[in-house]
Structure 1
Amino acid sequence: MFLYDEEMVRRIRERSKEMEAAGEIDDWLLELAYEERLFKLFVPNELNGRMTPLPEAARIFERSAWIDGAFGWLVTIGSGGGFFAATIPDREAKRLFSGREAVLAGSGMPTGRAYPVPGGYRVNGRWQYCSGSTFASFFTANVYIEREGEQEEMRSFAFLPEQVEIIRDWNSFGLRATASHSIAVTDAFVPAEMTFDIVSEPRYDDAIYRYPFRPFAQVSFAAASLGISRHWLDECRSFAERRTEAWREKSPLRLKALLGSLEEQERRWREASEAFYHAVDSAWAEFESARELPEERWKEVGRVSQEAAAVARSGSEAIFPLLGMTALQHDHPLNRTWRDLHTVTQHSLLLPLEE
């Protein structure tokens, strides 16, 4: 796999600056992801997928994000869409997921409205933060269905690219190459069979389709956070090594503080990573066998995911002031990885809040 090829890692990182400036990852990198079926880690084998146990997928997310934050986030989000392959109606799932370049972008926020018409629905809406919008082969979004005299119903809708307008408004300070733009749909007709309920009974027996969505997403996002954090710490270590000789003479106290803080945050990262994967691995093994877990186990998975993200975030903040003006340069790897890390850990699912 190219993710473990040192020369390929170097090549990708050499392009990180330019991809960030362009707001998209390179076509050749997308091609590698298609070839390795990295966007199909949770698509069933029957749909030309690469069905992968969640613990293994989490390590792929971490590795991808360690190489490049934006690329890792796109692999994480793009593959996560395979979670819906088991609840989209069978014929449509085959059409949407079977292609070599099948990958979805979308949003879980219910910011669309629909009303029934013969054969389906008319839909209008706008959804933010649709990562991978510029290369998605289809889109999904949550919509409220309005029926006269009845309570509104929320349902997930699938849209084809020709039905979607991409509004290029992604202007975050990090993960800039993810093309996480808004999408809009105007008076689009969506057949009933292109709608689905993600909590309905899945058609496939793979364990991932019965794994609760919230801890699934928390594990995925925490793994990406750990990957970017590890890259950040690697960049800090390289920076410290390059500065050691000069600072030993001119700024010995600063050098001591940097090396001490770096050692401490590397230790915290290792401990958080070990706790995270221990919980993820053990929960998956038990769930794969029994297809159920007590609620406290799901809460533990969520907790270690949030703690991993918190350690990644706080660790970077502890070191950043010691890096001097170099870390403030927008195009420096220290700056880019710091921004990417703070963007991914901003996700609400990684915060210790219960809505």
Structure 2
Amino acid sequence: MTWLGTDALNVLDAVRDAVPSLRNNGAATENQRRILDENIELLQEARVFRIAVPERFGGLDLPVAQQAEILTAISRGCASTGWASMVWVSTAWIASLYPNRAQEEVFEGGSVRISGGFTPSGTLVPVDGGYILNGSWRFNTGVRGAQWNVHAATVDHPDGRHEELFALVPTGDITIADDWDVFGASGTDSATSTAKDVFVPDHRVVDTSVYDASTGNRWNADTKGRNYNLLSYVLATCAPVYLGIAQNALELFIERLPGKGITYTSWTEQREHPHTQIQVARAANQIAACEALSRDWLEVIQGRADRGEKMTVAEKAVVRGQVGYLVQSTKEAVETLYNISSASTILRTNHFQRAFRDIAALSLHGLLTPTSSLEAHGRVLLGLEPGTDYL
């Protein structure tokens, strides 16, 4: 477990108290295809949506390892709520990379939920004082429950330059489609958002320099301790969701085991069967190994930030590869438990089947899919270029 300060412990305790409610709300969250208002209120009361907000705006400004601990706990209760919370929290940190004037607008209330469409599927046209934004962004997680949204878009300059920019707009300025209908992570409301002729002032548009958190005209550009490498930070806040889902699956499996036999056999207690014991131990150790790996990369990310140093390519490749490995291993752990579960596991009233579907769905995320992540890591280990800019 990460060392936690008083603020983080208070948030974590409140989240742990909320886990049974988040779990019990799982079916309703799926049916609604978005996070229940009750879940948002529980996390709001726990101050979850302050954990990445700078202190001067009333935020808790927790270090990434403490954010990760809290996101893991949320995901133990509900994967969809954990995933949406991860997006809202990590994108709030991204908002701290914007100019001071934008931060004052976004963080005014101290607690904020921000979503984002980071595939540049929109356009920005320069006008006096800012830009006009148009476009649509698929898989925009939690957008209906967010107050602000980041949109990646391209702009063509008169001199022929083609630039990628990130526009930050109030969610009320965009429209949201009802097109999120999936078999896993169903409650994340990762719907398509659309902007049509939305004016975005200059101070709420940044370029790809946000990938280097130590640059930009921010009040805190030189502050040590929170200027993380953007992609490493995002990956480090995604990983806890998978850990939380796997921990949840293990807890649920063990909970249901006493008194359960193995159908059509003479075994009246499945937990006494050696195969069950071995498989449970295997799954538990896979999860524990992933927890240990995550502590290593969180320490590297925070250490570099504390010293005001940039991460090396090798360090960033390790984070990318090991997060991919964590995604693969936690998914395998859940599958191991599913494969020794009883047929009643498939009932929708059984919380385990939801964890199984959620981790299967989330393992396909483009940035987190194990194959491409391990490839980038392996290339660097072999002395080659990583083959991707997403480090």
- Distance in 2, Cα, partners of 1:171 & 1:180: 9
Q: Does 1:284 align with 2:302?
A: yes
- Distance in 2, Cα, partners of 1:50 & 1:14: 28
Compute the displacement of 1:250 (Å): 4.7
Q: 1:297 to 1:159 in 2, by over 3 A?
A: same
In structure 2, the residue matched to 1:346 is 364
Compute the displacement of 1:77 (Å): 1.0
Please give the TM-score of this superposition, normalised by the length of structure 1. 0.91
Deviation per CA, 1:63-112, whole angstroms, max 9, x where unpaired? 11112111211221111012223332212211112225521111110000
Compute the displacement of 1:7 (Å): 5.2
Give the aligned residue type for 1:235: L
Deviation per CA, 1:197-252, whole angstroms, max 9, x where unpaired? 32443431444652111111111111111011110111122233341487873578
Which SS does the other structure have where 2:112 is aligned?
A: coil
Deviation per CA, 1:263-282, whole angstroms, max 9, x where unpaired? 21112211221122133225
- Distance in 1, Cα, partners of 2:110 & 2:319: 32
Q: 1:234 to 1:242 in 2, by over 3 A?
A: farther
Which SS does the other structure have where 2:196 is aligned?
A: strand
- Distance in 2, Cα, partners of 1:291 & 1:330: 49
Q: Does 1:310 align with 2:328?
A: yes
Q: 1:113 to 1:305 in 2, by over 3 A?
A: same
Aligned residues: 355
Q: 1:4 aligns with which of 8, 13, 26?
A: 13
Q: 1:110 to 1:94 in 2, by over 3 A?
A: same
Deviation per CA, 1:110-164, whole angstroms, max 9, x where unpaired? 0001212222222210001111111211111111012345222111001222320
Compute the displacement of 1:31 (Å): 2.0
Q: 1:265 aligns with which of 283, 307, 314?
A: 283
Structure 1's consecutive aligned runs of 4 or more residues displaced over 6 angstroms after TM superposition are 245-248, 251-254
CA contact (8 A) 1:210 1:291 kept: no
Q: 2:266 aligns with which of 246, 249, 252?
A: 249
- Distance in 2, Cα, partners of 1:87 & 1:134: 23
Please give the TM-score of this superposition, normalised by the length of structure 2. 0.83
CA contact (8 A) 1:86 1:209 kept: no
Give the aligned residue type for 1:224: V
Unaligned runs of 5+ in 2: 1-9, 377-387
Give the aligned residue type for 2:236: V
- Distance in 2, Cα, partners of 1:287 & 1:295: 15
In structure 2, the residue matched to 1:195 is 205
In structure 1, the residue matched to 2:152 is 142
RMSD: 2.4
In structure 2, the residue matched to 1:329 is 347
Give the aligned residue type for 2:123: R
Unaligned runs of 5+ in 1: none
* Identical amino acids, percent of aligned pairs: 19
In structure 2, the residue matched to 1:81 is 91
CA contact (8 A) 1:12 1:67 kept: yes
Which SS does the other structure have where 1:129 is aligned?
A: strand
Give the aligned residue type for 1:87: L
Q: 2:44 aligns with which of 34, 56, 75?
A: 34
Give the aligned residue type for 1:21: N
- Distance in 2, Cα, partners of 1:207 & 1:331: 47
- Distance in 2, Cα, partners of 1:208 & 1:347: 29
Q: 1:320 to 1:67 in 2, by over 3 A?
A: same
Q: 1:160 to 1:275 in 2, by over 3 A?
A: closer
CA contact (8 A) 1:54 1:208 kept: no
More helix per residue: 1
